[in-house]
Structure formats: structure tokens, C-alpha cells
Structure 1
Amino acid sequence: MSRWSFFLVLAWGLLLSGAAGAADFETPGVRRIELGADGGAPLPEIHIAPGLATVVFFDARIEPEHVVLDGRERFQRVGISEDHLALVPSATFREEERLRLEVRFHGGAVPERAAVMLVVDADRVERQVEVYRHPRTAESYRQEVAELKVVLSRLQREVEELRATRASDGIGAVVASLRGTDGFADTNVSYQDPGSGFQLQPKGLRIIHMAQSWTGLKLKLVLRQPGEDWTAAEAELLDEQGLSVKVRPPVQQMPVRFDQQADVVVPLDDPNALRKGRYTLKLSDAGGRRPVVIQGIEVP
């Protein structure tokens, strides 16, 4: 992933998280609440008190038939118009009791709804509150989602290309660095065909060796029949006595596919650990669903 892509993702995260907040401002005698276009933030609180009227004004038309007020039947009076609500709580409300108020706006702008939390608090009662929203059209949301999908798709391609490049460099760089140098050996070795019980068919096995530096097994594989691509995840190498020869995770330039050969390189942890004798190489993909076992590897 490029540095620019990283900062782009970071910027998106900051934008999406920062837009969720709701800011509120107070002027003498009037409470002003501003709602963001995105939800997720705690509901703004409006303080009410029994017997005292609180009027909530909205900067856009609301739909009176879609107003939702918890405990509505317990209010002495509830007045609803297309741009404001008048609320007079009764004496049945307890101090610090909390009630949700939700309204729905006319038109297709976002947010379509707004909600606040009414809190019974006689010491902090607010007589007039003005609620402002920053409307955003649904089309602008769709456009943002579409743009984000394009960005994420590009980043995913970059990650896949980076993985392929790293794997290719891992194989190519090792072989290229060894070929033509003193002590380099690229030896073809024999082995027993694993038979038709395995989905993968070996097409050759070589030992790449650089004295005192690096040793690895390079196995060429192909799928016997059409099926899911295969990528080695784990490797195990055993000697004639069944003792494990320590190896590193397998490196693969590209997945093994039907009718398309691919190389799997298994580096040895100790470049001098591979001595003359017979060995068994076991490879498996993630989850071990499709293993391949190469027996009778004759190391000269």
C-alpha cells in the first residue's frame, strides 16, 4: 500500500468519525442545538420541569403525525405544529426521569429523523430550544459510498499486487543472488509420485544450495483437475528416521492452478541440514484441506 493510500484511508476514517458528533450552543434565554448529518453520537438533552412549558423549534418542517414522545399521555399539554412542539409536563414526572422525543422531517434530506432526550430537572429547565440540522441529501450519501467503494477497490488491488510482488521477489531474488556465484548448486532430485490420491501433481523437484548461505527445496506443482487455486501455507520435512528437519514457511510466486504449473520454495532453517539420504516433504494449504506428500526424495 502506498503512503498516499494510507493517508487517504486515515483521512476517510477521521471524516467519518468526526461527522457523527452533535454540537450545541447556548445563548441567553435560548438553547440552540445543532445536529450532524450522521448518527451515532449521544442524544442531546433538553431539561424540562412539571408545570412549566418548554417550546422546541425546528429549522425545517416536521411531520406532526410521526412525532414519537415517550410518556406522551402523562403531559398536561402537548402542542404540535409543522415547525415546533410545546410541552408542559405534569406533576407525575419524577426528577431525573428521561424521555425520548423523536421527530421526522419533510423531504428527502438526511438526517430524515432527529431525536433528543428530555430530562426532568426543575433546577435547569429550558423554556425555549431551537434545533438545527445540517441536512444532507440521500444522493450525496450514495455518491460518497460509491467513491469510497472505488477507493477501497483500488487499495485492495494494491495490496494484492504488493503480495504478489513480495512473493515473486522472495523466489526470484534468492535464485538470482545465488546463480553464478561460487558454491552455487541447482540439483534435480528424484522422488516417488504421490499417486492419484492427491489433487496436486508434482512436476519436478530441485535443491537450490549456496554453501554456508542458503538451501531450499523448489517444487513444481500443478492441479490434476479443475478446482480452487492452491497456495501452500505450511511445510514439514522429515528424514529417514522420521525426524523433522527445521524449515521456514513456504514461499510461492503464484497459486497452483489447473493446467498451470507454479513453484513452491521451502527454505531450510539451516543451510547445511540437508544431508545425503531419503526425505519426505509434506505441504498443506490453509486449514490442511488439500495436503500433498512427496516421499522418497533422494538427496545425493
Structure 2
Amino acid sequence: MPSSSIVVILGLALTSAAASAQSEFSASIPGARRIELRPDGNPTVFEVVVSAGRSTGLYFDSDLMGDGIDLEGRERFTLVDVGQATLRLVPSSRVMPGERFRLSVRFKDGAAPLSAAFLLRVHPAKAEPLIEVYRAKRTIETYQQEADEIRSELLHCQQENVRLKAEHDAPGGLAGLLATGALDESGIAARLVTKDVLQSSASTLAATFVITYRAKKEVAVAVHVATKAGDQPWSAKGALLRSKSGAELKVLRVWQEQPIPTDELRRIVVEAEAPEAGVQGPYSLTIWEDGPRTVTLGNVTFP
């Protein structure tokens, strides 16, 4: 992954601190995405990713006008919580991946810019949990923090490049697993978890057979997915493994031999990093296509 493509990692949770009476943040929130509004020129519409049932919070450095919040499709959100300088959104299960909702807010003091506009894009799983919106100038501390986060991500990308190069240069088969350190004397453990997993009502495809695997540094989930009669073929585009605490395993690859034909059953394999041998789960697994259809499983555990 080239360093020019680095994106600062998003924060994992919305803080529960009470809103301050000051118009500026006393401290920046680590890991949050940062948006800066320009007081002049054409207004910019910023895209924000949301997901059904997951919280997305926007923290502003200026007080909001309570009756100046305009959210398209507001009835399809289970929570729209407007604070003094915060806005928390939770879409309901009625929203569909790929849908977009316009959001605008107005500021109380009447200074430029008077408002801010956002486009909420629904994703099956990867909601942005926390966003800081700056209207005034940012403090030097927030820039220093952002630089530290970028350096950390750069180091992670360099380590990832080393891993990918090692995999590319290694032989195939068991020799390759040993060469890259993915396999040790403990081998690979497997567990049939079909009866244990809970299929979400949000799933639009059926998972009929589920096996989990663990090696030295990685885990994998093999899911046999069936399409329905009359459905278009289905190809997995991405996946997410999230623990009950909200922590995510880094997904290394999502593999399937070919698109799943209409009214047939095929296997999809999701592989993720798992450096801590004691992490068995449970996890929720979401697999999505480039479209509205998803597979969502709960209570996924590893050997």
C-alpha cells in the first residue's frame, strides 16, 4: 500500500462526555476524522459513511441552531440527537446499503460559514463513529496529533508491505505457510460453528454452512452462501469482523472462486489478522457486495 494512499484510522467509539459551554474543543478526540469548513467560496458537501444500527457522532466547534437541522429521510433514523454542539445519528434497519441522505446544519452565532452540508452514505457495516467539524481555526495540538496518527499509519503500511513482499517471494502450499510464519507446530485448528452462529434479519442471502479456522497469526471463516431463485449472481466485495466491544480484526482478504450463480451454493473465505492467540470471540461477521445484498452473522467464534 503506497504511503500516498494513507487514510487516518477512524475512532472506534462516540465519547459520552457532556457538551462544554465553550465554543471550541478543549481537546481533540484521538482518532476522529476531521473536517474543516471554509468561510468563503462555494460550500462543500462532505460525505459521511453511516450504517444501520450503528452510531455516528459529529462534534462541532460552534454551537448549533436547534431548529436548523435538516435531515432527509429523518423517519428512517432511530436516533437523531441534537446537542449544544453535537449531533448523533443512528440509522434504522430500514435503510439500505448504497442509499444517500442529505444533512444540513446551521450555526447559532451567524458568523461565516452559516451552515454545513453532508451526504450520509449507507454502508453495510463500516459506519464512521466520530467526526470533528472545525469552523474556526484548529489548534496546533490537533495538527500535531494528526501528524502522529499519519506517522503511525505509515509505519503500519511499511510493515504491511514487508508482509506482502514476504508472501509474494514465498513458495506455495505448506512450505509457504511455514516460510511466512503463518504456521507453527500447533498447525491449523478448525471448528464447525454452523449451529452456533446467529443469522441476522438484515441478511439478504442465506449462510448454510460455517467453519472457522485459526493458525499462528491469522483466522479465517469459510461461509457457504446460497442465492435465491431469481437473484442475480453475487460476488463478495468486502467483509468486517467486529467484537462485542467494537474492536475490528484487520481483514486481509475475501476470497471466492467465482460469483455465486442464481439459486446455487458457493463458499466464501474471509481471512483476518489475529495476533493474540487468546481471542476466540464471539464476533459479528458482515460480508457485502457492490450493492444492497449482505450476509450478516453473529456469535462467530474461533478455535
Which TM-score bucket, shorter chain as reference?
Answer: 0.3 to 0.5
Greater helix content: 1
Which has the greater radius of gyration?
A: 1
TM-score, normalised by the number of residues in structure 2:
0.36
